[in-house]
Structure 1
């Protein structure tokens, strides 16, 4: 089952089965602060397939040919999936645009991928129109083999309606705009589908661009979704999805992780329900849909866990003690090797099933990706969303990223400059991956492709350690890039360079990890600058005591964040890149404490070990402030 005929093959088996459904909002609800959503509205596989064929045919009628690119910009919804399948039917590579990227990144991707046409969510059309004047033209040959200049993104199709003023604004830029219904009328169900080659591009997924301009990760048609789905089925064993399952679509479809999950559900004939794209009503959506499969990032599970614990604690000491007893009892049995459903069945019914009701009462399978959790899938865009995974009911894999998928080879490569030896008794080194479900390269960036793919092996930049049970544990990063708990990448060296422009400091070490959602830092302030501040604010004391002063800490924290936002030679920092708490150290980072190299580069593992208690205190203080 290739990506190009996934939906049609599923249709042969389950033509009337329900597929993407979304909540229906009443007309007046959109104007209220607390809108009341109606029931989910269903589409069948047949209806979704016919809509995809019609939209694909309409694209061809607009002169979009196989191989030319189509953008998809918006939140998860049935139209997103239908647009994707429309592209697949006509061998038109689709280019997802992250809903949170902003206009500059969207503009870059449209130009870089030479997007010919785009499907856009209604609420995103103003942002799309804003970036269109900066979209360039590109050259392609017409039927007479003459080179003609074409405007990038010459047509926009709304997921819903489009206003007359928006049409006029677009037409002034040479761009045609259509509502979803208008564009469908241009297509036909009786259309000829072009032949597809395994080497044709299926999709180009751009990374978030944290370390510079976004990179286009290329997936060819040869990527076998069926084989990838069989990998998941094999690893999930008795927990595989069926036609009776309902998947809750929450993670962005523009991200490879959710696309893989929804593809798997379509392959298995499951139903898919989309959240309403408003986090305030996330739990209401879940309660209405009552999904059996849920996919999230650790931050989501942490919020649910925190809410459950708070509710239990509010019930009194006895209720809290009973829950803790049940938790410890089940944990001990899991550690002994019992299956999840065998570890404490009576306590499940009495206590844990009440927590299950928070997911609608039917959930039986929870996936987590993008950052560590008990059952964690290592998630890189280049790895098509998953290369290693923990196995269901193997509690010993907790804290690891599990074992490789059947389609993936994994090995470690020594990193001597960091002291990691892949051939030692405890093998450690950079994780390298190879397999048919990996990407084929970076779009228009042969230089990056050659550096990332060496003899077919993708160098991830993660430092791993093989465990005795065959699982992989990530222990470090070869490159100083990491993810926060919400899945956002942080290029810490770039941030430190930006913050170092603040004239109040002499050096800074920024810290974050995949279990926290924000950053903290240890800062060495400039002695004279701090003393000048103290004099102006009538604060007395020596340099050490000034570093301990709360007002001084707040002053420098504010100035650091202002530097990140206002410096003329750097882009404004994103919200998750701003510091939430800092510690002022009067002593510079030095070689004597093994905190820097002889060339004064920061030694991050040693810094963390030295400042561990301070880092823990900063997170505790910041969370207290936030609450």
Structure 2
């Protein structure tokens, strides 16, 4: 909370006003989350951008969103943002944001005043499509949208403050941002931020999360890799694998499994 208020104070002193669009281009990191919440807390609008976006796409988003301010994790990403049109300033997480985080929040009264004026239907964020089939298109989401989706996810899934998650989906995508960050705050669990897809196998063993979000393509790749290994296994190993799959499927579809099915499935984690 202190970090969010410190960045919010820095944004106010930098001239960010309620309703301003603020670009946020960075890899997943704690500062990304602090900046996002700080932007929202001063009544501005977060416009996240994938860090691997080409400069022309970044500029298209900056112009279309009429952004006045930008935050980049480093100088390389900041170089993709041109100070033209409405965009008047870009700061770095490695320098300005780091400095704001070291300082005590100086604009608590103004932050509080702005927070009280935000309504559920006010614009919270503009999320742009990847642009793989043409010009990126911005989707406007109100604060109500993000809150309602977060609450719905918690109601549907049996998660609690005893759960932990490994967050690895890009925060520029609304799926990861809501289900890995906002939902985690709402249900009070512990969230670990991954260093990236290349480190997932190692991090899964280290963190052992009880909750993890992903996209269909990742599950398809995992399934394909498993089935490739199964196809090369001995007949006995293939038979054991198929038996395990059938047992797991039966258990998942049974509300009250009988003792035999429970024994086949093995002990449930407490």
- Which residue matches 2:28? 76
**Per-residue CA distance 1:232-276 (angstroms, 9 max, x = gap):** 23322xx2x211111111111111111220211111111111111
Q: 1:306 to 1:347 in 2, by over 3 A?
A: farther
Q: Is the contact between residue 25 and residue 77 of structure 2 (CA under 8 Å) also seen in structure 1?
A: no
Q: 1:339 to 1:99 in 2, by over 3 A?
A: farther
- Which residue matches 2:90? 155
Q: How does 1:392-431 map to 2 (within 5 A)?
A: none
SS class of match (2:172): coil
- Which residue matches 2:153? 232
Whole-angstrom distance in 2 between the partners of 1:214 and 1:307: 33
- Which residue matches 2:187? 268
| Count of paired positions | 263
Whole-angstrom distance in 1 between the partners of 2:34 and 2:266: 40
SS class of match (1:263): helix
Whole-angstrom distance in 1 between the partners of 2:84 and 2:63: 6
* RMSD, matched Cα: 2.8
The Cα of 1:323 is off from its aligned counterpart by: 1.4
SS class of match (1:266): helix
The Cα of 1:215 is off from its aligned counterpart by: 1.5
Q: How does 1:336-485 map to 2 (within 5 A)?
A: 337-339=253-255, 344-349=261-266
TM-score, normalized by length of structure 2?
Answer: 0.85
**Higher fraction of strand:** 1
Larger radius of gyration: 1
Q: Is the contact between residue 251 and residue 257 of structure 2 (CA under 8 Å) also seen in structure 1?
A: no
- Which residue matches 1:126? 76
Whole-angstrom distance in 1 between the partners of 2:80 and 2:146: 38
Ranked by relative contact order (alpha carbons within 8 Å, sequence separation 6 or more), the top structure is 2
The Cα of 1:312 is off from its aligned counterpart by: 4.8
- Which residue matches 1:251? 169
The Cα of 1:314 is off from its aligned counterpart by: 5.5
**Higher fraction of helix:** 2
- Which residue matches 1:396? none
- Equivalent residue for 1:283, pick from 186, 198, 201: 201
**Per-residue CA distance 1:505-536 (angstroms, 9 max, x = gap):** xxxxxxxxxxxxxxxxxxxxxxxxxxxxxxxx
Gaps of at least 5 residues in structure 1 are 1-48, 139-151, 162-177, 354-361, 365-627
Q: Is the contact between residue 247 and residue 291 of structure 1 (CA under 8 Å) also seen in structure 2?
A: yes
- Which residue matches 1:308? 226
Whole-angstrom distance in 2 between the partners of 1:181 and 1:218: 29
- Equivalent residue for 1:206, pick from 114, 125, 128: 128
